[in-house]
Chain A
Amino acid sequence: MERTAAVEMINITKRFGQVLANDHVNLEIRKGEILSLLGENGSGKTTLMNMLSGIYFPDEGEIRVNGQKVTISSPHDAFDCGIGMIHQHFKLVDVFTAAENVTLGTKDDKLDLKAVSSKIRDICDRYGFVIDPAKKVYDMSVSEKQTVEIIKVLYRGADILILDEPTAVLTPQETDRLFGVMRNMKKDGKSMIIITHKLHEVMDVSDRVAVLRKGRYIMDVATKDTNPAQLTEMMVGKAVTLNIERPKFENPVPRLEVKNLTALDPLGVKRLDGVSFTAYGGEILGIAGIAGSGQKELLEAIAGLQPVEPGGSILYYPGGGKTKELVGLTPMQIRRAGVGLAFVPEDRLGMGLVGEMGMTGNMLLRSYSKGRGIVADRKGPRLLAERVREELEVMTPSIDFPVRALSGGNVQKVLVGREIAQSPMVLMTAYAVRGLDINTSYAIYDLLNRQKMQGVAVVYVGEDLDVLLELSDRIVVLCGGQVSGVVDAAKTTKEEVGLLMTKFRKEG
């Protein structure tokens, strides 16, 4: 049965500066259906939905709700149109109860928490939620907080719900419960858009799938008419040849051996679950996985920034010298022990660099404690800053100009330049080319390859599968904090890696 459209987005375009986040996208959500919006990171899914929920305003295009053209310029406008979005980052007040959070900002004139609570219970009964309206948010599990967010939207009478990667924070059991609720809401005539990149969830819960890739609308298809392999291909696209070099290094030796690494986040959720692999000098070990699969925790655990559970081990082979166990050491102890470990973290300005300082000050971050005396040696770092500026062609007015004010590419060059300058034995990079233009990206690949050819073990956490396939020698695929496969990058296919990332293995 063909249903009528609840929302139509027609020719929507949104730019952020030079970046085209959405390029003439058309999307239709029908009444009483669950639509999966599928796409890789950076494909523009969240941006598109933020225009429906009033966070952003489209540069071009129009939005129709129930056939009528509307202007949505604030979350309030969205609510007035019956649209509510459940964001990935919950917008809740910690010290308030569920009921207080739900009623916050509504136009009810009196604050009658009893009435609010009973209405919440009604909603719960109707759709199968379980929540205590008097429970404080700080006492809630992630899943309960999400429930409050959904109730908030329903309480305001939304008919169209947008869920931005709702399962990213949930356990499988909680996910099942959420999907149950979603099916109940569908029965009640609500329309839902679920943003996700987990294919089995798409297959499980949705009626229809729409795919975005690099800001463009690719296709939409009824879920029953498709399969994970086809969706993967749609999502990642045909393999693109990038002509990234992959020089061959003879006789790679083990440098870093990770064994049975498990780590919890502050809430006690497992972020790494028995991860084991070995990184060899003279190879680039790619790490693939959907965002939030444990990449950050893995690198930080190796760097001594993330505590790990007992039983795990990180062995460092200096080549010749004594093997060292890195688990339990602080970053300073790791450095003092002479471990040649370099780390380019994901959050460049928030973790890898000091934004207020210039290049010199940032070069100092790795070396300031060297030498005797109370004065930090700035001569060395200054020379290093000059060298990095010249060799990596960093565009900056001066080496004392705050790096915060540099462009993204130059910030990354400063960071990578400093880390390489330590002559590491192991070089870890997280999303080293995110947000960079093509030329800078290639310059970074080139730098990594040169490190590899000097016998360094390079660990490259990436999100672009095309790059991972061409640059890496081997690829470790993470899924939900576990290693779901280790593949030879020269022999594997994009589809295979894509399926490993989403726990779907290709038949045969």
Chain B
Amino acid sequence: MARHSSGHERFLRIAKRDRMPKSRAFMIRVAAVLLSLVVSGFFILAVTKLNPIDVYKSLFAGAFGTKRRFWVTIRDTMMLLCISLGLAPAFKMRFWNIGAEGQVLIGGIVTAGMMRALGTSIPTPLLLVLMFACSFAAGAVWGAIPAVFKAYWNANETLFTLMMNYVAIQLTSYCVARWENPFGSNSVGIINQKTKAGWFPAIFGQQITLNVIIVLTLTVLMFLYLKYSKQGYEIAVVGSSENTARYAGINVKNVTVRTVALSGAICGIAGFIAVSGASHTISTSTAGGEGFTAIIVAWLAQFNSFIMVAISLLLVTLQKGAVQIASQFNLNDYASDVITGIILFFILGSEFFIKFRVVHRSRKGGRS
């Protein structure tokens, strides 16, 4: 027989918030970023004994200090942004597409292959359109494979898309070995270096203008697509409740495959831009891990394309700045990953305070 003497119990309870004003949620996130910068500052101080403020200053200079640095930062921001845009529709549908890295590479392989094969026979403007279309299609197919298995057999999409990354990476290695140039270099080298066939043309004297145009157009289109189109609406309904979707007459399987194919397709375009508009070569590091970073960007932005612009810029600034710090203070540029990690941890943690509140509840026991 249990006899409990506890008359009163006090305990903490975590309750879901109904809704927090946007301004306050924004303040919490800003506070999280600031706090994370302070913590990162301590990390820098502890490791290097350098004044963190100086370090942050040179970090900024590293990202934006010269014209060239500025444009490189913008170029890489566009890349990260493009992948994040691709992930947004899948995530909005609660489909965990972890396979962006591979989808980017597939788009990149197709682009590089076409540049090599068709560079001499097709004029660049037409070639660009063709490469755009083919990398779009290739990314779509790559994305649709796990989606079909998810829709019809409920195969775990997180694990499936993750594995597809490495299949794509090995496929890239295969192509690199096939296309090796010069022989023995274990790299493809700059494709069409002399003719620049299949390269993005310089516009307004700037090599990456087209990158910016394509990605910003996609940003606006994705925003409009998710917010105003019929398909965007279907995505939102499926993501919220499959039951409601069926009630509304939505074919959940079709929407799943279609949406993830689109997601993969845009990642494929990111691969096209990376090859044709930036590196003009292909390697296993063409996606450079941004396929994973973009997952975090898309998630944190809660699928809003314009917020993705800001987060992408923040992360790429950090990465670029850290390279500068590394050379200036004789460190190595992996510091940027550490700082990125710290900032992301703080933002992730801060979501708790936006979604939940901690209630102090007292509970009355039986009368004695």
Binding site for B on A (CB under 8 A): 57-59, 61-63, 65-66, 68-71, 73, 77, 80-82, 303, 305, 330-332, 334-335, 343, 345, 347, 349-357, 361, 364-366, 368-369, 374-376, 378, 401-402, 405
The residues of B that contact A63 with a CB separation of less than 8 Å are 366
Chain B: residues with Cβ within 8 Å of the partner, total of 33
- Determine the distance from Cα of A334 to Cα of B247 in the docked complex, in whole angstroms: 11
B363 interface hit (Cβ, 8 Å): yes
0 or 1 for each of B219-247: is its CB under 8 Å from A? (1 = yes): 00000000011111110110011011011
Is the beta-carbon distance between A365 and B244 smaller than 8 angstroms?
yes
| List of A residues within 8 angstroms of B365 by Cβ | 57, 71, 73
Contact A350 B241 (CB under 8 A): yes
Q: How far is the CA of A361 from the CA of B368 in the complex (A)?
A: 53
Asked if A81 and B244 sit within 8 Å, CB to CB, the answer is no
Q: From residue A52, how far is it (CB to closest CB) to chain B in Å?
A: 13
Q: Is there contact, CB below 8 Å, between B243 and A77?
A: no
Known A77-B4, A81-B1, A335-B249; judge A368-B230 contact (CB<8 A): yes
Is B4 within 8 A of A71, CB to CB?
Answer: yes
Supply 11 A–B pairs (Cβ within 8 Å), ascending by A: A59-B364, A62-B366, A62-B367, A71-B3, A73-B365, A303-B247, A332-B250, A332-B251, A334-B249, A356-B240, A374-B231
Chain B, Cβ-Cβ closest to A406: B18
B contact residues around A353 at 8 Å (CB): 244
Q: Which residue of A lies closest to B17 (CB)?
A: A405
CA A402 – CA B17 in complex, angstroms?
A: 13
The 6 closest A-B pairs by CB, nearest first: A332-B249, A80-B2, A331-B249, A71-B4, A405-B18, A376-B230
Q: Taking CB as reference atom, which chain B residue is nearest A355?
A: B240
A368 to B1, CA, bound (A): 61
Q: A71-B365, A368-B233 are in contact. Are A402 and B19 (CB under 8 A)?
A: yes
Instruction: Tell me whether B248 is interfacial, beta carbon within 8 Å.
Output: yes
* Residues A375 and B19 in contact, CB atoms below 8 Å apart: no
Output the residue of A334, A335, A361, A365 with the most chain B CB within 10 A.
A365
Question: Is the beta-carbon distance between A345 and B3 smaller than 8 angstroms?
Answer: no
Contacts A58-B366, A375-B230, A376-B229 known; list 16 others, CB within 8 Å.
Answer: A57-B363, A62-B367, A68-B3, A69-B366, A71-B3, A71-B6, A71-B365, A80-B2, A332-B249, A350-B243, A354-B241, A354-B244, A356-B236, A368-B234, A369-B249, A405-B19
* B9, CB-defined interface residue at 8 Å: yes
Q: Mark B1-34, 1 if CB is under 8 A from A, else 0.
A: 1111010010000000011000000000000000
Measured in the bound complex, the distance between the Cα atoms of B237 and A350 in whole Å is 11
Contact of A66 (CB < 8 Å), options: B1, B9, B229, B367: B1
Residue among B228, B231, B237, B247 facing the most chain A CB atoms (10 A cut-off): B247
Do B247 and A330 touch across chains, with their CB atoms under 8 A apart? no
CA distance A435 to B365 in the complex (A): 28
- For B9, the chain A residues whose CB sits under 8 A away are 73
Residues of B within 8 A of A402 (CB): 19
Closest A residue to B364 by CB, please name it.
A59
Min Cβ gap A296→B in Å is 12
Q: Which residue of B lies closest to A57 (CB)?
A: B363
* CB nearest to B367 among chain A residues: A62
Q: In the bound complex, do residue B2 and residue A70 qualify as a contact, i.e. CB atoms below 8 Å apart?
A: yes
User: Which chain A residues lie closer than 8 Å to B243 at the CB level?
Assistant: 347, 350-351
Q: Nearest chain A CB to B337's CB is how many angstroms away? A: 34
Q: When the two chains form their complex, are residues A350 and B4 in contact, meaning their CB atoms are under 8 A apart?
A: no
Nearest residue (CB) in B for A335 is B249
Chain A residues lying within 8 Å of B241, measured Cβ to Cβ, are 349-351, 354-355
Interface residues of B in 321-368 (CB under 8 A from A): 363-368
Return the chain B residue nearest A300 by Cβ: B247
Question: Cβ of A364 and Cβ of B244 under 8 Å apart?
Answer: no
User: Chain B: which residue is nearest A377 at the CB level?
Assistant: B230
What residues of chain B lie closer than 8 Å to A305, measured between beta carbons?
Answer: 246-247
* A351 and B2 contact, Cβ closer than 8 Å, known pairs A357-B236, A402-B19: no
Docked CA distance A62–B367 (Å) = 7
Q: Is the CB of B247 within 8 A of A70?
A: no
Contacts of B367 in A (CB 8 A): 62
Residues from chain A with a CB closer than 8 A to the CB of B251 are 330, 332
B19: which A residues are within 8 A, CB to CB? Answer: 401-402, 405
The reply to whether A330 and B249 contact each other, CB–CB distance below 8 Å, is yes
**Docked complex Cα distance between A68 and B243 (Å):** 49
With A68-B3, A69-B366, A70-B1 in contact, do A331 and B248 touch (Cβ < 8 Å)? yes
Residue from B229, B244, B251 with most neighbouring chain A CB atoms (10 Å):
B244
Closest to B3 in A: A70
A378 touches B248 (CB 8 A): no
Q: Which B residues are CB-close (under 8 A) to A65?
A: 1
Question: CA of A354 to CA of B241 in the docked complex: distance in angstroms?
Answer: 7
A351 interface neighbour in B231, B232, B244, B250, Cβ under 8 Å: B244
Q: Roughly how many angstroms separate A374 CA and B227 CA in the complex, as a whole number?
A: 12
The answer to whether A376 touches B233 (Cβ under 8 A) is yes
In the assembled complex, the CB of B238 is this many whole angstroms from the nearest CB of chain A, namely 10
Instruction: Tell me the complex Cα distance, A115–B14, Å.
Output: 40
Contact B363 A350 (CB under 8 A): no
Residues of B within 8 A of A66 (CB): 1
- Beta-carbon contact of A73 and B4 below 8 Å: yes
